[in-house]
Structure 1
Amino acid sequence: MNAQPDPRHDIDGDVYVSPRYLASTTETGDPALAPLLALSWNLQYDEDSNAHVSAPDRRVRLGYLPEGEDDGLWRINAYKDSFGLPAWGVCFNDRVPTEFVTAFTTALATAYEQGPDVYLARPVPGNDERNPFLPLVPLLKQGWEFDRPRRGVFAAQAPDGLAGLEFATGDLDPAAELTTRDARWQLWAGTSVDRPVWYATASTGTPIALLTAVTQSIADPSPLPRWRQDTGSYIKGMAQLTPILPPGPRAPTPFDVQRDVASRRPAVLPAASVPRWSTASRPALPGPRR
């Protein structure tokens, strides 16, 4: 059974979407930009309000392109030479769940702090930390099935068949990897890889640690919160939508219990207000005649 987030937290949404890879994007890219901006990366906007973020050494650049020329909403490139061709490139289209992009940029921020030997580390077959098959592991641990859908391609597919990861072998065109879906890695969700709800691509030189961060987020069994009106008709019949419960009552504190007990205790009049008789008391006045 999937673990449900605590409904008493501040949740941006009114339904949980499960499986999470069918949740689609959110209305803002701020969570994915935050890990890089926290490192004082430079943020600029163009005349179309697209965001462009660059590392201090200009060797890593990110574009958040809601007004771009195609459906590539997120494009991230890294360079050995800031004026040369990209050493690697990643693209997330405009329906990829923002949490998956955030997993990537969080891992990228960590790698950048460790230096170019990490954020430019190319995959190495047989290497324990840089093996190109490592991104498949988190998915296979969650019951995804290993597959070879066509020659030269290794894949992992979700149990429901609505998401997958493909790893292509052999020689690929470096330019095509950066501009098309003919890349070394491709992630997708939907009814098929040919007509995906969303897709993400990564070129040959993309560090394995960054890709694995994304597949770990995809493999997480917990659902993602979304607003029902933003889920889109494309997930009807595919995703499960569970209403998010309203916040539960606050547990009483010891002070609350003490105050409640005090409010139920009968009132006691002060001693001075109780009339008492003594020999010094004045005689009672006669009452009115009837």
Structure 2
Amino acid sequence: MPYYPNDERWPDEYHVSPRYLAGPTFTGDPALRPLLDAGWNLNHDDLGNVYVNSPDQKLRLGYLPEGEDDALWQITAYSNAFAAPRWLVTYKDSAPTEIVTGFTTALAKAHAEGPDSYLADRGGDLAELNVGTPLVAAGWSHRFTAADVIFESPDGLAEVHLRRNHLDNAAEMAGNRERWLTLAGPPDQQWYATASSHTPPALVTAMNWALTDPAPVIRYGDDVRLLPPQAKATPVTPPAPTPLDVRRAHAARARSPIGHPAAARHSTSPAARQHSLPKIPAQLSRR
């Protein structure tokens, strides 16, 4: 049935899955909230770009709708306030906001734990593959090439690439190369996320958990038109009112011209998953 935003047959709220096909919510607030709740500082420029810094200035996030490219989210870490960036994580402007929120939630926690959590170096091939465990646990396949390990979602619409070759640090910090590359969505609606070589494994793991979380995300009526055809949008039907609800509604309308109160929104919780680790081919494990 075609979608008409004023047609009462269409509900206002939908559960969308998989979440990596849901698109953004067109507001960065949910992903900024974990950092602001942790006491990080908020600033903005005249163009509408937003900057959030940890109190010690060692972690910085830019929300850049008026940035130089389509990397809407850019997150960096520093050993001290005047050092060069230690690592860089980016998300494209069309990345689902809930997936970015999964990363910023982990980032706020890492900062609270201290530098060993947000500046820890990567630990070699085995640690890198362990970072991919959420992908394998979600049923993603993996294959090895000479330069990459490539994880692929069951529907073939998302991939995560782990580069195994040497990368130039300056190129990574400039956003021209990456250790981890996520690509999700059909070709005409594809978004990306990146993480550089020195991004702590726990934070890359958080990126992958957020990517594979099976819980659907909420999108509203008009946004459904923008979803790719492979996304599943399930209408959220509010429960039938009880006689008590009806009496309360009548009483509320009698007291106020505003009308019906807004229905409560519900979301589901992620399901428990078993961890597993991809087996390293013998010829690669010796490198």
1:124-181 Cα deviation digits (max 9, x unpaired): 1277xxx112231111112110123x43100110011000111001211212223335
Go from structure 1 to structure 2 and tell me whether the alpha carbon gap of 1:54 and 1:172 turns closer, same or farther (over 3 Å shift). same
Question: Residue 24 of structure 1: SS of its match in structure 2?
Answer: coil
Sequence identity of aligned pairs in percent?
Answer: 45
1:91-143 C-alpha deviation (Å, 9 max, x unpaired)? 0110111111111111111110111111101111277xxx1122311111121
Q: Residue type of the partner of 2:202?
A: A
**Structure 1: 4+ residue segments shifted above 4 A:** 231-234, 250-253
Structure 2 counterpart of 1:35, one-letter code: P
| Distance of 1:126 and 1:104 partners within structure 2 | 22
Matched, 1:203 2:202: no
2:118 alignment counterpart: 119
Kindly indicate whether residue 249 of structure 2 is the aligned counterpart of residue 223 of structure 1. Answer: no
TM-score normalised by structure 2 residue count: 0.76
d(CA) in 2 for partners of 1:13 and 1:249?
A: 17
Q: Is the 8 A contact 1:13 1:225 kept in 2?
A: no
Aligned-partner Cα distance in 1 for 2:12–2:198: 37
Alignment partner of 1:144 is 2:137: no
Distance in 1 (CA, whole Å) between partners of 2:133 and 2:42 is 34
Tell me the equivalent position of 2:268: none
Cα offset for 1:251? Answer: 9.1
Query: 1:84 matched to which residue of 2?
Result: 83
Matched, 1:71 2:70: yes
Find out whether 1:190 has 2:182 as its counterpart: no
What 5-or-longer segments of structure 2 have no aligned partner?
A: 1-10, 246-287
The answer to whether the 8 Å contact 2:77/2:119 transfers is yes
Give the conservation status (yes or no) of the 8 Å contact 1:50–1:64: yes
Q: CA RMSD in A?
A: 2.3
- Unpaired stretches in structure 1, ≥5 consecutive residues: 1-11, 254-290
Larger radius of gyration: 1
Task: Call closer, same or farther: CA 1:251–1:95 in 2, change over 3 Å.
Answer: farther
TM-score (norm 1): 0.75
Aligned 8 A contact 1:36 1:106 in 2: yes
Q: Distance in 2 between matches of 1:13 and 1:162?
A: 27
Is contact 2:15-2:234 (8 Å) kept? yes
Correspondence 1:135 to 2:98: no
Question: Which amino acid is 1:88 matched to?
Answer: W
Specify whether residues 251 and 72 from structure 1 end up closer, same or farther in structure 2 by C-alpha distance, changes over 3 A only: farther
1:72 positional shift? 0.7
Q: One-letter code of the match for 1:235?
A: P
